[in-house]
Amino acid sequence: MRTRRALTAVLLALAVTAPVGCAQSVDPIERLGKKAAERVAPRDASQDAPHDGATDGQGGGRGEDRQPYRRWGLAAPLASPPAPAAPLSGSPGPDGTSAGRAAALPPVVDHVTTRDPVVFLTYDDGAERDPRFVDMVRELRLPVSMFLTDSVVGPGYGHFARLRSVGASLQNHTLDHAALRGLPYAGQRAEICGQQQKLHARFGLRPRLFRPPYGRYDTTTLRAAADCGITALVLWRASMGPADLTYTHGPHRLRPGDIVAVDPDEMLGPTLRERTTRLLRRIQEEGLTVGRLEDYL
């Protein structure tokens, strides 16, 4: 009798404890709690999109693949730029030589005289190395010009090799980002020619275009640049900053032939991709598109 009672007690104990494991085999979202649920629940794609409607260019369905401009925050595709006219007499030819002006100093430009509805996108230094910007340039076929400083790029030249492979051009922005104006000829020449040599060693190219750091230069800069094989000093008439476009002179709107500098990222500002998207929208609003600067200089 005592044995039967003991057996009954054991069975009752098992009956009480057995459902515990099953009770935990419920929806894992409920069991993990709200905070953990957020980690495993599917994310809303809109939460991952950068500001201003630009996305990261990754993923997407077949419809998005056919319309990449939507993935980068544009309402319509960029218009194709027209074929530029042949270089004017005395302007640098496609091989970088200048007929009839071998001894002349290179021109300083912030605007190209053209009737083509194009503006030109330029980027300085080389500090920003977002791989999604490479995707953006490739998918939108943006003919951007990157002015590189060796001490800023550092070990990041591989990123710019990828940009070059998708259509970007690489140009000269000195070795160390020194303010050139007022420096002796030897110092300026070392900064400019030194970066020419770096880019030639890494990419097999000798840039024709040069942007002086901070936009500051003097006649000595022009002499040194010419001796380093530079055919034009490139400044900018408009600049895309954290908030909006600013202009160095002239009307406060984009005009055909404007050279635009897209400022580097700031700690709390929009990313380079977001600034580029904002700028592309403004370009489209003005009935313009993006041209390749090297085709016009």
When the pLDDT of each residue in the chain is averaged and rounded to a whole number, the result is 79
φ, ψ of residue 216 to 5 degrees: the values are: -100, 130
* Predicted local confidence at residue 67, as pLDDT: 86
Contact (Cβ atoms closer than 8 angstroms) between residue 173 and residue 149: yes
pTM over 0.85: no
Question: Taking residues 255-269, what's their average pLDDT?
Answer: 85
Long-range contacts of 125-128 (CB under 8 A, 24+ apart): 125/149, 125/152, 125/153, 125/173, 125/177, 125/264, 126/152, 126/153, 126/156, 126/160, 126/173, 127/152, 127/153, 127/264, 127/265, 128/264, 128/265, 128/272
pLDDT tens for each residue of 281-297? 999 999 999 999 999 99
pLDDT at 68: 87
Question: What does the chain come to in residues?
Answer: 297
Confidence of residue 3 (pLDDT cuts 50, 70, 90): very low
pLDDT digits (tens, 9 = 90+) for 77-115: 999 999 887 554 333 433 333 433 445 899 999 999 999
Question: Nearest CA to 178 among 146, 154, 212, 208?
Answer: 212
CA–CA gap between residue 146 and residue 169 (Å, rounded):
6
Q: How far apart are CA 170 and CA 199, in angstroms?
A: 8
pLDDT tens digits, 11-69: 444 333 333 333 333 322 232 233 233 333 333 333 334 444 454 444 444 444 568 89
Q: Is the pLDDT of residue 157 over 50?
A: yes
Mean pLDDT across 211-215: 97
Q: What is the DSSP string of 124-140?
A: EES----HHHHHHHHHH
Rounded Cα distance between 213 and 44, Å, is 43
C-beta of residue 168 within 8 angstroms of C-beta of residue 133:
no
Q: Residue 243: which pLDDT band, with cuts at 50, 70 and 90?
A: confident
